[in-house]
C-alpha cells in the first residue's frame, strides 16, 4: 500500500479537522497562567482520566509492545500492573497531598522540603527526560506511517509537529486535555480495529492462534523465581514498575498537573483511577496484537521480505507490525489506525510541551523574575512551548536522518541525570528527619552509581560498551538501574541526614503522618461547612 485510498484520507482529514476545532475553541480562554497551565481547575473526572490515558499511551507503545510480544512473551506488561498497584497503595494520599501542597509545579514541594536547589534539580531532570522523548515519539510514527503511505518521513515529522505546537501554543492545557479525550477514544478504536482484522484473517480462526500461542508459552509473564539479576524475571519487572509509577505519580509533572486540573480531590482520584484502569487493558491489547501477529505468520506460512530480516536472517520484531499494516489493513480501517497513530504522537507531545512550559515558568522564570506579572509569565510560557516544540521537531528529524543510534549517548546522559526522583520523594515525604545536606549526599551517590552502571552497560552505535571496565561492568538488568538509584537516594540520604542538624523549618504537614492528620482536619471542616450550608438553606 504505497499510497492511501480516498476513504483513508477522509478519515484522517476528519481527525485533523476535529483536533484543530478543539484547539481553536479554547484559544480565546487562555488569558492567565491559571487557565494555561491548570485549565482553571475545572476539568471533569472522566475527561481527566481519558487525558491521562492518552498521554501515557504514546506512539512508542504502538510499535514497541507488539514487537516485544511478537519476539517473546508478555513480560513487558508486568510493570504496567503497578500503574494500578501504586495507585491503590498511595493514590488517595498522593493526589490530595499534591492538590494542597503545590500550585502548578510538582517540584514546588521539593523546595519546601529541601530548598530551591532540590526544586531546580528535579525540574531539570524531568525536562531532560521528556525533551528526548518528544523527538523520539515524532520519529517513531514514521516507522509505520511512511511504510503505509510512501510519504516523506521529514514531512510527517514536521507536519505533525507543527499542528501539535499550534493547538498547544494557543489552546493551553484545556486544548491539550480535550484533544486528548478525542485522541484517547481514537487510540482505543485503533487497537480494536487491528485486533478485529487479525482475528478475521487468522488461518483456523482465533482458537487456532490462542492454542498455538499457549503451546509456545507466548502469554508467559516471565520466570517467577526470585532472582533480581535475571533479565525478564517477573519480580524484576514488577519491582521496576513499582518505582517507575511511584515516580510518575509523585515526581512527574505530566501526572501531577492532571491532579491539579480537577474540580475536587475526589474527582482527581476518580480521573487518575480511570486513566490507570484504561492503560492496563490497552497495553494488554497491544501485547495481544503482537502475539496474534506471531501466530498469523506461523499458521499462514507467509515469508518475510528481506527488509524485515537482520544480517543473520532473523526477523526484526519491531518491523513486523508496520509491515502487517502496510499489506493487510483494508481501506478505511487503515485511515482509522493511522489517525490512532497520529493521536498517539500528538497527545504525548502536546502534554509534554505544556508541562515543560509550566516547569520553565514556575520553577525557573518566576525565580529569576519574582516581580513579573501574570501576563508576562503567560507570554514566556507560550514562547517556551514554541521553542521546545521546534527543537523537538528538529530532534525527530535528526534521528530520522542519522538513525536511532544517535540517541544512545543522550539517553545515557538523561538516565544519569534523572536518577532517583522517586527516592527523593520518599525521602521528603516519609522521613521528617531528612534534610537538604543528606539529600544531596544521597543524590550524588545515586548519580555516581547510575553513571557507572549506564556507561558500563549501554552500547553505542558501534555495538561496543560506552565505558568498558570488563569485570567491573554493570551486569544486572537495565530496568534495575532506576530501582537501585531510588533506594540509594532514600537510604544514603536518610543516613547522611543524621550527621547534620535537623531542619526546624520542616512543617509536619509536609510529611506522611502529618498530612494524614491535616487531611482529617480538612475533612472535618468540610463536613461542618456542608452541614451549615444545609441548615441555612
List pLDDT tens digits, range 350-406: 999 999 999 999 999 999 999 999 999 999 999 999 999 999 999 888 888 876 554
The H or E element spanning position 293 is helix 265-300
Q: What does the pLDDT look like over 24-72, one tens digit per residue?
A: 889 888 999 999 999 999 999 999 999 999 988 888 788 888 988 999 9
Confidence band for 92, pLDDT divided at 50, 70 and 90: confident
Confidence band for 201, pLDDT divided at 50, 70 and 90: very high
Q: What pLDDT is recorded for position 478?
A: 82
Say which residue, 114 or 398, is predicted with more confidence: 114
Report phi then psi at 455, rounded to 5.
-70, -30
Distances in Å between the Cα of 459 and the Cα atoms of 128, 398, 482 are 20, 20, 18
Q: What pLDDT is recorded for position 143?
A: 75
Q: 378 and 36 in contact (C-beta within 8 Å)?
A: yes
The topology under which CATH files domain 6-402 is Sodium/glucose cotransporter (1.20.1730)
- Rounded Cα distance, 67 and 262, in Å: 36
- Reduced to 3 states (helix: H, G, I; strand: E, B; else coil), residue 115 is coil
Q: What does the pLDDT look like over 479-492, one tens digit per residue?
A: 888 889 999 999 99
Q: What pLDDT is recorded for position 418?
A: 65
- Rounded Cα distance, 356 and 522, in Å: 32
Confidence band for 2, pLDDT divided at 50, 70 and 90: very low
Q: Which of 52-61, 415-424, 437-446 has the lowest mean pLDDT?
A: 415-424
Q: What does the pLDDT look like over 287-327, one tens digit per residue?
A: 999 999 999 999 998 888 887 887 777 888 888 888 888 78
Q: Check pLDDT > 70 for residue 460.
A: no
- Reduced to 3 states (helix: H, G, I; strand: E, B; else coil), residue 481 is helix
- On the 0-12 / 13-18 / 19+ scale of CB atoms within 10 A, 531 is exposed
Q: What pLDDT is recorded for position 262?
A: 93
Residue with cell 526470585: 226
Mean pLDDT of 72-88: 92
Q: 277 and 283 in contact (C-beta within 8 Å)?
A: no
Q: What pLDDT is recorded for position 529?
A: 66
- Rounded Cα distance, 126 and 250, in Å: 12
Say which residue, 371 or 140, is predicted with more confidence: 371
In this structure, what C-alpha cell is assigned to residue 499? 550527621
Q: Which of 206-220, 265-279, 353-367, 417-431 has the lowest mean pLDDT?
A: 417-431
Q: What pLDDT is recorded for position 171?
A: 93
| Domain spans, the chain | 6-402, 408-506
> How many CB atoms are located within 10 Å of the residue 47 CB?
20
Q: What pLDDT is recorded for position 417?
A: 59
Q: pLDDT > 70: what percent of the chain?
A: 93
Beta bridge partner(s), residue 459: 465
Residues in CB range of 201: below 8 A, 6 or more apart? 296, 328
Q: Residue 404, Cα to own-chain centre: how many angstroms?
A: 19
Confidence band for 407, pLDDT divided at 50, 70 and 90: very low
Q: What pLDDT is recorded for position 370?
A: 92
Confidence band for 470, pLDDT divided at 50, 70 and 90: confident
Terminal Cα distance for the chain, rounded? 67
Amino acid at each position: 500500500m504505497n499510497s492511501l485510498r480516498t476513504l483513508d484520507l477522509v478519515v484522517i482529514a476528519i481527525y485533523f479537522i476535529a483536533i484543530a476545532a478543539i484547539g481553536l475553541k479554547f484559544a480565546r480562554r487562555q488569558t492567565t497562567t491559571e487557565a494555561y497551565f491548570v485549565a482553571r481547575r475545572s476539568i471533569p473526572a472522566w475527561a481527566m482520566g481519558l487525558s491521562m490515558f492518552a498521554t501515557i499511551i504514546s506512539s512508542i507503545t504502538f510499535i514497541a509492545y507488539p514487537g516485544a510480544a511478537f519476539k517473546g512473551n508478555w513480560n513487558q506488561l508486568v510493570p504496567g500492573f503497578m500503574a494500578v498497584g501504586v495507585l491503590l497503595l498511595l493514590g488517595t494520599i498522593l493526589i490530595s497531598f499534591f492538590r494542597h501542597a503545590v500550585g502548578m509545579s510538582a517540584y514546588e514541594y521539593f523546595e519546601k522540603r529541601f530548598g530551591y536547589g532540590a526544586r531546580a534539580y528535579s525540574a531539570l531532570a524531568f525536562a531532560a527526560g521528556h525533551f528526548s522523548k518528544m523527538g523520539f515519539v515524532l520519529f517513531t510514527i514514521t516507522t509505520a506511517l511512511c511504510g503505509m503511505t510512501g510519504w516523506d518521513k521529514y514531512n510527517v515529522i514536521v507536519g505533525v509537529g507543527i499542528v501539535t505546537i499550534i493547538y498547544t501554543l494557543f489552546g493551553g492545557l484545556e486544548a491539550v486535555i480535550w484533544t486528548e479525550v478525542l485522541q484517547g477514544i481514537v487510540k482505543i478504536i485503533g487497537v480494536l480495529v487491528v485486533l478485529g482484522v487479525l482475528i478475521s484473517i487468522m488461518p483456523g480462526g482465533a482458537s487456532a492462534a490462542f492454542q498455538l500461542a499457549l503451546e509456545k508459552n507466548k502469554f508467559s509473564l516471565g520466570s517467577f523465581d526470585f532472582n533480581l539479576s535475571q533479565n525478564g524475571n517477573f519480580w524484576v519487572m514488577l519491582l521496576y514498575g513499582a518505582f517507575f509509577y511511584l515516580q510518575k505519580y509523585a515526581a512527574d509533572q505530566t501526572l501531577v498537573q492532571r491532579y491539579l486540573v480537577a474540580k475536587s480531590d475526589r474527582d482527581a482520584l476518580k480521573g487518575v483511577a480511570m486513566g490507570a484502569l484504561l492503560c492496563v487493558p490497552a497495553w494488554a491489547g497491544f501485547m495481544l496484537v503482537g502475539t496474534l501477529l506471531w501466530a498469523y505468520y506461523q499458521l499462514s506460512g507467509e515469508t518475510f521480505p528481506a527488509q524485515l530480516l537482520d544480517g543473520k536472517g532473523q526477523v526484526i520484531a519491531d518491523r513486523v507490525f508496520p509491515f502487517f499494516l502496510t499489506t493487510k489493513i483494508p481501506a478505511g480501517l487503515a485511515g482509522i489506525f493511522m489517525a490512532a497513530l497520529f493521536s498517539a504522537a500528538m497527545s504525548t507531545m502536546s502534554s509534554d510541551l505544556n508541562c515543560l512550559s509550566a516547569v520553565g515558568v514556575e520553577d525557573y522564570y518566576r525565580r529569576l523574575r519574582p516581580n513579573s506579572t501574570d501576563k508576562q509569565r503567560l507570554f514566556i510560557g507560550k514562547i517556551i512551548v514554541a521553542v521546545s516544540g521546534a527543537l523537538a521537531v528538529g530532534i525527530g528529524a535528526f534521528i530520522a536522518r542519522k538513525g536511532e543510534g544517535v540517541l544512545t549517548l543522550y539517553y545515557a546522559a538523561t538516565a544519569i541525570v534523572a536518577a532517583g526522583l522517586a527516592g527523593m520523594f520518599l525521602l521528603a515525604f516519609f522521613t521528617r528527619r531528612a534534610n537538604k545536606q543528606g539529600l544531596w549526599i544521597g543524590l550524588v551517590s545515586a548519580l555516581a552509581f547510575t553513571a557507572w552502571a549506564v556507561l558500563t552497560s549501554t552500547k553505542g552505535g558501534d555495538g561496543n560498551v560506552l565505558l568498558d571496565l570488563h569485570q567491573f561492568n554493570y551486569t544486572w538488568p537495565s530496568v534495575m538501574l532506576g530501582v537501585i538509584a531510588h533506594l540509594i537516594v532514600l537510604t544514603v540520604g536518610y543516613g547522611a541526614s543524621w550527621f547534620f542538624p535537623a531542619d526546624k523549618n520542616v512543617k509536619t504537614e509536609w510529611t506522611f503522618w502529618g498530612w494524614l492528620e491535616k487531611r482529617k482536619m480538612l475533612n472535618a471542616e468540610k463536613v461542618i461547612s456542608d452541614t451549615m450550608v444545609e441548615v441555612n438553606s
